[in-house]
A and B are shown apart, each in its own frame.
Chain A
Amino acid sequence: MELNKLTAHGLKHLLDKGDISNIDICNDVLEAIEKKDKALNAIVHFDKEKAIEKSKASKGLPIFIKDNICVKDELTTCSSKILSGFRPPYNATVIEKLLKKDFVLMGKTNMDEFAFGSSTESSCYGPTKNPWDLERIPGGSSGGSAACVAADEAIFALGSDTGGSIRQPAALCGVVGLKPTYGRVSRYGLIAFASSLDQIGTLTKDVEDAALLLKTISGHDAMDSTSVPVSTPDYSLKIKDSIKGLRIGVPQEYFGQGLDSDVKDSVLKAIDKIGQLGAKCEKVSLPHTEYAVAVYYIVATAEASSNLARFDGVQYGLRAKDVKSIEEMYKKTRALGFGDEAKRRIILGTFALSSGYYDAYYLRALRVRTLIKKDFDEAFAKFDAILTPTSPTPAFKIGEKTQDPLTMYLSDIFTISANLAGIPGVSIPCGFTKENLPVGLQILGKPFDEETILKVAYNYEQATEWHKKRPDL
């Protein structure tokens, strides 16, 4: 049996019965990595011997972690040269929670440098490939986590989502990607990209695993001032309830120009299916959707420009040599250590906050953010969930958009709003294009109502077969 192909809840069942041991799981995972990861490049920090050792010392399931989440004494680099060699002296709160539940931390997954991207091409370790077509990108920035789950190199993985970085790669790789409500999961130990938007979430093979993993990592954390003290429901049970009578909104703004016709077909069919399962799907309007990308790339880069200032060569990471002064050290270190996209975003964000431009760019963006949030508040007054495509297109070719940052930014157009409004969203497989590339359905929910969107996702998933399809590698 190839245990690496199973879900976490499936494996748990087998473990509980005593049919298998977690060493068996670990061995199958290791084998899959050896067989496939040369081609995929999904995993960036991984030590086979250590992984076996850790498995032997624990009874839990193996999990992979995106490279921007701090694991004590393990390389944590955000796929950036500027953090080369960095081993944090502490664990992120989510890591502490996983360890408490006996999970085995296998290694770190590839990502866009500092999560700046939608394709995992800006990683200093080179791009991750899409397991469905090795010439294509897996999406991003959690491309490594999505690809390794899709390719059965992993049972599940953690990612982070600032503007769609979990949901978009999940859609493009054909797995389940969940971004919880802002404040649901502690950000302590997540290396910040945009602090008011970042949220840690899950990449899994099915909805039940998403529910299981969300339950594990959620909860109030005194170390994070933006972690909200709300209780964590038992998602695994609740998601199995029927969706009869649920009111679901379908925003017309998400089905206009630029939407790939195969994607559109799959998503519309999925919406029909959900209607057949008893939910009431109706049109809704989110009128400020077209401004989301513009708002996002000002707010997110402004925060990022400040968050990334600390990578200056003083305390850790890369430091440029042969410099005469500290000023020169700063400039050379950051020139050497950051890739092009990081530089671009740092400069854009610094510009948006700089004297003379703050009001016109940053402050204006924050005001429009209010409108985007209001759109959702009004929609959720009438609806329990909102259905949209996750990404306007299926996975694109490697290199296709790297020369044109704006086009790359527009590929986040459907996922960004959820981060700006702080609401939860999940992407689930809902079909394939003619070229056999996965399509994702995005389900958005009210703040702290992950339960409802997971319930819709679960009901749909149980009524379809898409989540069972795996790429041939």
Chain B
Amino acid sequence: MANYEVVIGLEVHLQLKTKTKVFCGCSAAFGAPPNTHTCPVCLGFPGSLPVLNREALKLGAKVAMALNCRVAEEIRFDRKNYFYPDLPKDYQISQYGQPLSQRGYLLILTEGKEKRIGITRVHLEEDTGKLLHGTGQSLIDFNRAGTPLLEIVSEPDISSPEEAYFYLTALKSILEYIDVSDCNMEEGSLRCDANISVRKKGTKELGVKTEIKNMNSFKAVRAALEHEAARQIETLESGGKITQETRLFDSARGVTEPMRSKEEAHDYRYFPEPDLAPFDFEKDVLRDIKREMPELPEPRRKRFMSEYKLSDYDAAVLVSDKALADYFEKCSSLYKKYKIIANWIMGDISAYMKEHGLTIDRLNLKSEYLTGMLDMIDKGIISGKIAKTLLIDIVRTGKDPLSLVKEKGLEQITDTAQIDQAVADVIKENKRIADDFMGGKQNAVMALVGKVMAKTKGKANPQKVIEMLKESLKGGL
């Protein structure tokens, strides 16, 4: 395995977030009853003609620019001809010779280093309808037919399944930043196919590639590619040959398998779509798109590192989710210990969101409540331990931290007499541990701290407790 290298190219299909379909005025919303978002145009009824949705082309250009692509000076549509029951006209209006844009790249972080993955092209096309397979029969719903679809094709620059995963994560993050798509793989608004081949290290020539389809999450893409790379290497090692074919990923079994239907050589007979005139962007339209472009994840990560002195890892995790990064920045304007904010967001807050399937927007935690709570820790009003439960209380009740602390009596005990009593009790009750400590087992003190904290219901300042325990035990029992 070690003396092989893997070559991967990814093809992502992205549904754009427009109100209407790409060539007609039907709603592009997901989830309507079958064949109710359809008209003669998206059904490809005889005599109907396409008219381009301006917004779809604009969103496409936005994606292209975010991926550092050159937007073409003249954009044309072509017909891609093939028969399939989910394709109403038996041709797809797509782009071939003069696509929306070409030659871009995106940066991924792999093994701690930046890597540039080339983008071959970004082009606009129409989505197909949906086939519902039954036994022997299929049913067709054309609601999806004609939804604007962006095809984003990468160069074969990806050299491991892990990198493929990073590429997809980085891409999705960019797409979310520029707000062009729901990017929901389960609803199919983002789909991914992969081309993969392997070759002995040091060889120039590419190996025979296979195309992998039917992967419904980024993790599935990684798993499918891992399996496929291993399969190809094994085949070659045992003297076999790779067949150029399309393979489907079976996520339940974690394997790729050749598609059952007979495959014929593709001959799509692309030719210029005669029903549409060519398009170009006026300079100021592109300038406006550029001006309105939000800060993208990569520059933002770098800024987080320099401005907030966050580690590479922390910055990367925070910016990968735009809402999370926005939340961090809101907090950072109120509270200046940035690393502590990052720790809370990436630690307890993220854990809570994961457990409850929430995103930061849907989490009931005002930024000033979080920073208010952090302030209270700093001032010694509450302990860090109490803060962990307080956080959950804030989220559950929506109340501000100060009133909750008062309401529940969570203030840290600063009265030494109260702690003294607890320390004395604990030493008395845990003589053996105390002996261990005095016998030189320094760690034993932590066990005693835990007991004191339990006795004071966590309200004692742990630092203070340690000091007092050590003090009490110094003189012997």
Chain A directly contacts chain B within the complex, with at least one CB pair under 8 Å: yes
Contacts from A to B (Cβ < 8 Å) = 69-70, 76, 78, 83, 86, 88-90, 92, 187-192, 194-196, 222-226, 302-303, 305-306, 309-312, 314-316, 326-327, 330, 350, 353-355, 358, 362
Among B46, B47, B269, B276, max chain A CB count under 10 A is at B46
* B79 cross-chain contacts in A, Cβ below 8 A: 306
B267 touches A330 (CB 8 A): no
A-B contact pairs, 27 of them (CB 8 A): A70-B46, A88-B40, A88-B46, A90-B48, A92-B47, A187-B49, A188-B48, A189-B47, A191-B46, A191-B47, A192-B46, A195-B274, A223-B49, A224-B49, A225-B49, A225-B50, A225-B52, A225-B277, A305-B269, A306-B79, A306-B269, A309-B91, A310-B46, A310-B90, A326-B85, A353-B269, A355-B267
Residues in A neighbouring B83, C-beta threshold 8 A = 309, 312, 327, 330
CB-based nearest B residue for A309: B90
Q: Which of B51, B88, B271 is within 8 Å of A225, CB to CB?
A: B51
The interface bits of chain B over 132-155 (1 if a CB of A lies within 8 angstroms of the residue's CB, else 0) are 000000101000000000000000
The answer to whether A312 touches B90 (Cβ under 8 A) is: yes
B46 touches A353 (CB 8 A): no
B23 (CB) vs chain A CBs: closest residue: A225
- What separation, in Å, do the CA atoms of A194 and B274 have in the docked complex? 9
Shortest 10 CB-CB contacts between residues of A and residues of B: A309-B90, A353-B269, A195-B274, A196-B274, A191-B46, A189-B47, A70-B47, A310-B89, A355-B267, A191-B47
Please, which residue of chain B has its CB at the minimum distance from the CB of A198?
A: B274
Residue contact A354 to B269, C-beta cutoff 8 Å: yes
Chain B minimum-CB-distance residue to A196? B274
Tell me if B250 counts as interface (CB < 8 A to partner A): no
With a cutoff of 8 Å between Cβ atoms, the chain B residues found around residue A92 in the complex are: 47
User: How many angstroms between the C-alpha atoms of A311 and B44 in the bound complex?
Assistant: 10
Binary A-proximity of B285-322 (CB < 8 A = 1, otherwise 0): 00000000000000000000000000000000000000
- Check B215 for interface membership: any CB of A closer than 8 A: no
| B274 & A303 in contact (Cβ 8 Å cutoff) | yes
Interface of A is mostly: loop
Question: Which of B52, B140, B274 contacts A314 (CB under 8 A)?
Answer: B140
Q: Is the CB of A195 within 8 A of B275?
A: yes
Closest to A303 in B: B274
Max count, chain A CB within 10 A of own CB: residue among B44, B52, B83, B271: B271
State the Cβ distance, B145 to closest chain A Cβ, in Å: 11
Which of B88, B269, B277 counts the most A-chain CB atoms under 10 A from its CB?
A: B269
- Cβ-neighbour of B45 out of A78, A88, A225, A312 (below 8 A): A88
Distance of A222 Cα from B79 Cα, bound (Å): 21
- Identity of the chain A residue whose Cβ is nearest the Cβ of B83 in the assembled complex: A330
Cβ of B81 under 8 Å from chain A:
yes
- Out of A76, A224, A306, A355, name the residue touching B271 (CB < 8 Å): A306
* CB-based contact A306/B91 at 8 Å: yes
B345 interface hit (Cβ, 8 Å): no
Q: Is the CB of B81 within 8 A of A353?
A: yes
- In the assembled complex, B75 has its CB within 8 A of some CB on chain A: no
Q: Known contacts A89-B40, A354-B269: does B51 contact A222 (CB below 8 Å)?
A: yes
Interface centre among B49, B79, B81, B276 (most CB of A within 10 A): B49
Residues of A within 8 A of B91 (CB): 306, 309
Look across to chain B and name the residue whose beta carbon is closest to the beta carbon of A92.
B47
Q: How far is the CA of A90 from the CA of B47 in the complex (A)?
A: 10
Interface contact A353-B271, CB-CB below 8 Å = yes
Q: How far is the CB of B123 from chain A (nearest CB, A)?
A: 18
Instruction: List the A side residues contacting B267 at CB < 8 Å.
Output: 354-355
Q: 18 additional contacts, CB 8 Å, given A88-B46, A306-B91?
A: A70-B47, A89-B45, A90-B40, A90-B48, A92-B47, A189-B48, A191-B46, A191-B47, A192-B47, A192-B275, A224-B51, A225-B275, A225-B276, A306-B81, A312-B85, A327-B83, A353-B271, A362-B271
Please give the distance in Å from B46's CB to the nearest CB on chain A.
Answer: 4
1/0 per residue B41-68: CB within 8 Å of A?
A: 0011111111110000000000000000
In the complex, residue of chain B having the shortest beta-carbon distance to the beta carbon of A350: B269
Question: How many Å from the CB of B421 to the closest CB on chain A?
Answer: 83
Query: Considering the chains assembled together, what is the distance between the CA atoms of A303 and B271 in angstroms?
Result: 9
Name the B residues within 8 Å of A195 (CB-CB).
274-275
Q: Quick one: closest B residue to A351, CB to CB?
A: B269
**Nearest chain-B residue to A83 (Cβ)?**
B46
Measured in the bound complex, the distance between the Cα atoms of B269 and A354 in whole Å is 5
**Proximity string of chain B (77-96) to chain A, C-beta cutoff 8 Å, 1 when within and 0 when not:** 00101010100111100000
Q: A225-B50, A306-B91 are in contact. Are A90 and B45 (CB under 8 A)?
A: yes
Q: A88-B45, A326-B85 are in contact. Are A302 and B51 (CB under 8 A)?
A: no
Q: What's the minimum C-beta distance from A314 to chain B, rounded to whole angstroms?
A: 5
Q: Bound state CA distance, A92 and B49, in angstroms? A: 11
A188 contact set on B, CB distance < 8 A: 47-49
> Closest A-chain residue to B52, C-beta based?
A225
A302 (CB) vs chain B CBs: closest residue = B271
B144 CB → nearest A CB, Å: 15
Whole-angstrom distance between the Cβ of A301 and the nearest chain B Cβ = 12
Residues of A within 8 A of B46 (CB): 70, 76, 78, 83, 86, 88, 191-192, 310-311
Give A326 to B32 CA distance when docked, in angstroms: 27
Measured CB to CB, the nearest residue on chain B to A362 is B271
Per the 8 Å Cβ criterion, residues 323-360 of B in contact with A are none
Shortest Cβ distance from residue B75 to the other chain A in the assembled complex, whole angstroms: 14
| B50 / chain A contacts, CB cutoff of 8 Å | 225
Given A86-B46, A191-B47, A354-B269, A310 and B88 contact (CB-CB distance below 8 Å): yes
Distance in angstroms from B95 CB to nearest chain A CB is 15
- Which residues on the B side are within 8 Å of A89 (C-beta)? 40, 45
